[in-house]
Amino acid sequence: MTPVSPDTSLSASLDAATALLRDARRIVVFSGAGLSRASGIPTYRDADGLWKSQNALQFSHAEDLQRDPSGFTKFWAQRLSVVESAQPNPGHAALAQLQRLRPATRLVTQNVDGLLTLAGGQDVLELHGSLRRWRCDHCGNRSGPWPFHRCLRCGSHARPDVVMFGEMLNAGVLLDAQVAAQECDLFLVVGSTTIVYPAAELPQTALAHGAKLVTLNLEPLPHLDDAASAVLRGASEDLLPRLLAGMA
Ligand SMILES: [Zn+2]
């Protein structure tokens, strides 16, 4: 037999994944940090990753706000400015386009950057919240503006509406994601290692309910790739537009 070159193999996987997407009606796309890498959002696991920095370790728990309000606010305001200066990349745009082609598509993400919505994604299920929303835990205020990241109602320091370490996920968002995983016929993992809960559970839920699985990630996903109908190894900003081009 002629050895299959990596290019041929990727091309065959793209064809297979495109055919699966074309046949699917209810699609769930589960995305993680890899989707936003090309937009310049630092990921958790990169060598220069956000969570390697001392500041991130100091300000990743909600109680850090009481311990050091000005340090906490400064850290999260910097995170917000990174996100606000970022633009959606072709991967985000392709997922928004997929949702237009298949309106029952649910976009579930671990990312807190809001870039899927900015790209035109509808009703994005943000499992870890959004850096673009802030709230006041002191008085419960959830509506801005937040001048100097303070609450206008009670004067307390505000915080981003993201799930910090030690906090529970939003139960309603999680339930919507679980129901979507149960009801979908195709579950597509994009740029997520899917190791932490609930990311680890949702693809298994979809598989248990008869959905097909497609994985798209830079690195192998040993716990998922064996169960996948198509495995795409590469960058989402490159491969997602190619997938969508095949559907047109
Ligand atoms: Zn307040």
User: Are 186 and 214 spatial neighbours (Cβ–Cβ below 8 Å)?
Assistant: yes
Confidence (pLDDT) at 92: 98
Q: 231 and 140, same structural domain?
A: no
Contact by Cβ (8 Å): 44, 51: yes
34 and 120 part of one domain = yes
Instruction: Report pLDDT for 8.
Output: 77
Supply the CATH number for residue 94's domain: 3.40.50.1220
Q: What's the rounded Cα separation, in Å, for the pair 28 and 213?
A: 10
Whether residues 26 and 65 share a domain: the answer is no
Task: Report the DSSP beta bridge partners of residue 27.
Answer: 186
The pTM assigned to this predicted structure is 0.92
- The answer to whether 118 and 217 are in contact (CB under 8 A) is no
Please check whether residues 185 and 219 belong to one and the same domain: yes
Ligand 1 centroid–CA 190 distance in Å is: 37
pLDDT above 90 coverage of the chain, percent? 77
- For 85-120, the pLDDT digits (tens) are 999 999 999 999 999 999 999 999 999 999 999 999
CA of 152 to the centre of ligand 1 (A): 7
The residues annotated as belonging to the active site are 128
Name the residue range of residue 99's domain.
Answer: 1-40+88-128+168-248
Question: Tens of pLDDT along 115-173?
Answer: 999 999 999 999 999 999 999 999 999 998 999 999 999 999 999 999 998 899 999 99
